[in-house]
Amino acid sequence: MDRLRHDRLKWKCRRGLLELDLVLERFVQREGKTLSEGDVAMLGELLDQPDNDLWDLVIGRSDRVDARLRGILARLRAC
Amino acid sequence: MTLPVRTFDAIVVGAGGSGLRAALELSRAGLRVAVLTKVFPTRSHTVAAQGGVAAPLANSGEDNWHWHMYDTVKGSDYLGDQDAIEYMCRRAVEVVVELEHMGMPFDRLENGKIYQRPFGGHTQDYGSAKMAMRACAAADRTGHAMLHTLYQQNVHANTQFFVEWMALDLIRDADGDVLGVTALEMETGEAVVFHAKATLLATGGAGRIFAASTNAFINTGDGLGMAARAGIPLQDMEFWQFHPTGVHGAGVLITEGVRGEGGYLLNKNGERFMERYAPNAKDLASRDVVSRAMTTEIKEGRGCGPDADHVMLKLDHLGAEVINQRLPGIREIAIKFANADPIRESIPVVPTVHYQMGGVPANYLGEVVAPAQGDPEAVVRGLYAAGECSCVSVHGANRLGTNSLLDLLVFGKSSGEQMVKAIRESPVAHKPLPKDAADRSQARLARLDAARSGERVAELSSDLRRTMQAHCGVFRFPELLSEGVEKMKALAARAERSFIDDKSKVFNTARIEALELDNLVETAMSTAVSAEARKESRGAQSRSDFAERDDANWLKHSLWYKAGNRLDYKPVHLKPLSVDSFEPKVRTY
């Protein structure tokens, strides 16, 4: 991923909840370089969720997410 | 080079609870308002507030603002300004009911009224043993619901949002009046002047100055840095509230409920050490007692892990059922951030900073005040502050739970009202911008662009956080405090040579982080210097060498100035607006 896309994604990962900041930081560090354009778009959709809803998805308290996004969510959950 | 200028009636810096509440007041008055925010408004740190918002609605038992006021004054360890506290408690019902009418999804009683629950430090009848039912909540997501409600209202009122914009510096003219801010648009990397008749700082807390912090990454004290660089003092910055159990190395909170259910703390010898410090309450003693005990264990070499820098929270004896059912989310947090499954093993924890009581000095109308010409509280014309970045001071040396969301609502509203009034009374034309309006910001940006070598931002930030954690933590020791001040001075000098590799303008997060670092440095320096100088223990400031509160010498607010790294002091407002003063007493619960 080029610098600009990386930075845009990194900033979308700045959240109101520290828990999300930490998980998303790890995710971008681990997977940032290998994310495809499609991955980034889908991650972007997840990141549009309100913080508390996204946190529920990340820790598996909720599964309410479009089937298309399950793959990227699983990778996020593993971080 | 001259910067482009955008002109508004009012600028609000920050889009958390207080910024949004103020913006709503301004937009509804038909004024042109620009809200500048680093991240999308509903991603502000207000979302992290769970507990509720205090208001003596008396829906679930007798209550009134006098009792709430007493609790807040006592909770502040008598450092809170009693006029501001009276003002907040008297307006609590109004702002909560207003929010209800805006559509805030409060939990309800069967009769349809807002459900209220007890919360630590909130009592009936001036500190009696009976708890007041005063906290209004929306499940465990009160802050989240509040932020979303206020954002929707602002959209409806046509507030103009500048999202992914970082405010850089205040603009002051020769009279000392504030005429707006400079700000950086992240998308283009260009700086712009926002010219306004009234400017509100609502940038939240700066908990990121500590290594162990529950605060989100955005909480870098931007408003504090802006104020300090513009010659405005920062008030009571030594007072930071710590939570005893944050996950070591991450900061994420482990709720007190874990100890309520029977979890307890262990040192490296496997000793349940709280039995020595609080033989009765043990692990359920108040936050400050538990935090101090943990720090003492670590300082005396009984900490756990290779660096002996944390203690363990044991809860495996509670069993999987209790952990899963009564402590939802705790297991996931421990596994994710401590790599420890609490059903089988203990969680490494440390006292973790949570809330900043100090900030930009403001009165209860939101006007920023600073000493001038013999008046300790002369109004800085054109500048306002609200929420965690401000020091009104309603929390004094220690904040009560659920009073922070109330603070946002009351002082967000009052500052908005005062801004409307000031703008309406001002001449039609804006006061002209001084020639040097953007000089400070442009010099900061130019230095970063020109530097070919220097100190790495990430390293400086990490050194700053470690220094503050080690020298200015929850339990303070004289030699550590004075060393901490010296270390911060060295760090501030290094930070003047901060350096970034990539000089790109368009959406360069490294540049943003370098600018944030400047704000962290001002905040950390003010904290270290104010803490070292205050020779007493009061509220959240707890010193080993001065263990008692000293009203004769220290019943006063600290004011730290960047220029000369110097301190001044001003009196506490002991006189409320309409009732008798609550005289300082020994604080026991």
Q: What is the pLDDT of residues B255-300, one digit of tens each?
A: 888 888 899 999 999 999 999 998 888 888 878 889 989 999 998 9
What residues of A are in contact with residue B216 (Cβ under 8 Å)? 14-18, 21
Task: Give per-residue pLDDT as tens, B360-396.
Answer: 999 999 999 999 999 999 999 999 999 999 999 999 9
**B505 close contact with A: CB closer than 8 A:** no
What is the spatial distance between Cα B409 and Cα B98, in angstroms, rounded to a whole number? 10
Q: What is the pLDDT at residue B51?
A: 80
Contact between A60 and B504 using a beta-carbon 8 Å cutoff: no
Interface size between A and B, measured as CB pairs under 8 A: 82
pLDDT for residue B587 is more than 90:
no
Query: Average pLDDT in the B480-502 region?
Result: 97
pLDDT for residue B139 is more than 90:
no
Whether B385 and B366 have beta carbons less than 8 Å apart is answered as yes
Q: What is the pLDDT at residue B287?
A: 80
**B284 close contact with A: CB closer than 8 A:** no
Query: Average pLDDT in the B15-44 region?
Result: 98
Query: Average pLDDT in the B170-178 region?
Result: 97
What residues of A are in contact with residue B15 (Cβ under 8 Å)? none
What is the spatial distance between Cα B157 and Cα B163, in angstroms, rounded to a whole number? 17
What residues of B are in contact with residue A61 (Cβ under 8 Å)? 328-329, 332
**B329 close contact with A: CB closer than 8 A:** yes
Whether B350 and B212 have beta carbons less than 8 Å apart is answered as yes
Average pLDDT, whole number, for chain B? 95
Task: Give per-residue pLDDT as tens, B553-582.
Answer: 999 999 999 999 999 999 999 999 999 999
Query: Average pLDDT in the B512-528 region?
Result: 98
- Local confidence band at B1 (pLDDT 50, 70, 90 cut-offs): low
User: A57 to each of A73, B145, B336, B342, B514, how far by Cα in Å?
Assistant: 8, 18, 14, 21, 32
Q: Which of A14, A17, A60 sits opposite B47 (nearest CB)?
A: A17
Could you tell me whether strands B498-499 and B455-456 are parallel, antiparallel, or unpaired per DSSP bridges?
Answer: parallel
- Local confidence band at A39 (pLDDT 50, 70, 90 cut-offs): very high
Q: Model pTM?
A: 0.96
What residues of B are in contact with residue A59 (Cβ under 8 Å)? 329, 332-333, 336
Active site residues of B: 287
Whether B37 and B120 have beta carbons less than 8 Å apart is answered as no
Q: State the CATH number of the domain containing residue A74.
A: 1.10.150.250
Tracing tokens 């421990």 back to the chain, one arrives at: B334
CA distance A46 to chain B (A): 14
Amino acid at the residue B289: V
Joined tokens for residue A36: 């495809």
**B60 close contact with A: CB closer than 8 A:** no
B96 alpha-carbon distance from chain centroid: 21
Contact between A59 and B508 using a beta-carbon 8 Å cutoff: no
Give the CB-side neighbour count of residue B517, counting CA atoms within 13 A: 28
Q: Which helix (H) or strand (E) holds B376?
A: strand B375-385
Q: Which of A8, A10, A23 sits opposite B336 (nearest CB)?
A: A23
Q: How many angstroms separate the first and last alpha carbons of chain B?
A: 60
Instruction: Of B31-45, B117-131, B370-384, give the lowest mean pLDDT range.
Output: B117-131
pLDDT for residue B18 is more than 70:
yes
Question: Which residue range is the domain that position A31 belongs to?
Answer: 3-78
Check: complex ipTM more than 0.95: yes
Compare all CA atoms of chain B with the CA of A7 and give the residue at the minimum distance: B509
**B335 close contact with A: CB closer than 8 A:** no
Task: Give per-residue pLDDT as tens, B314-335.
Answer: 999 999 998 888 887 889 999 9
What residues of B are in contact with residue A50 (Cβ under 8 Å)? 42, 47, 144, 148
- Local confidence band at A26 (pLDDT 50, 70, 90 cut-offs): very high
What residues of A are in contact with residue B255 (Cβ under 8 Å)? none
How many CB atoms sit inside 10 A of residue B519's CB?
A: 26
CA distance A79 to chain B (A): 8
Query: Which DSSP string do the residues of chain A spell out, in sequence order?
Result: --HHHHHHHHHHT--SSHHHHHHHHHHHHHHGGG--HHHHHHHHHHHTS-HHHHHHHHTTS---S-GGGHHHHHHHHT-
What is the spatial distance between Cα B363 and Cα B120, in angstroms, rounded to a whole number? 26
What is the spatial distance between Cα B555 and Cα B393, in angstroms, rounded to a whole number? 13
Tracing tokens 């005063």 back to the chain, one arrives at: B134
Whether B244 and B274 have beta carbons less than 8 Å apart is answered as no
**B216 close contact with A: CB closer than 8 A:** yes
**B538 close contact with A: CB closer than 8 A:** no
Joined tokens for residue B162: 């500048």
Task: Give per-residue pLDDT as tens, B434-474.
Answer: 999 999 999 999 999 999 999 999 999 999 999 999 999 99
**Cα B130-B136-B141 angle, rounded to 5 deg:** 130
Contact between A16 and B337 using a beta-carbon 8 Å cutoff: no
Q: Which of A16, A60, A61 sits opposite B44 (nearest CB)?
A: A16
Q: Which residues are within 8 A (CB) of B380 and not within 5 positions of it... i.e. 6 or more apart?
A: B176, B177, B178, B232, B367, B368, B369, B370
Domain count, chain A: 1
Q: What is the pLDDT at residue B55?
A: 98
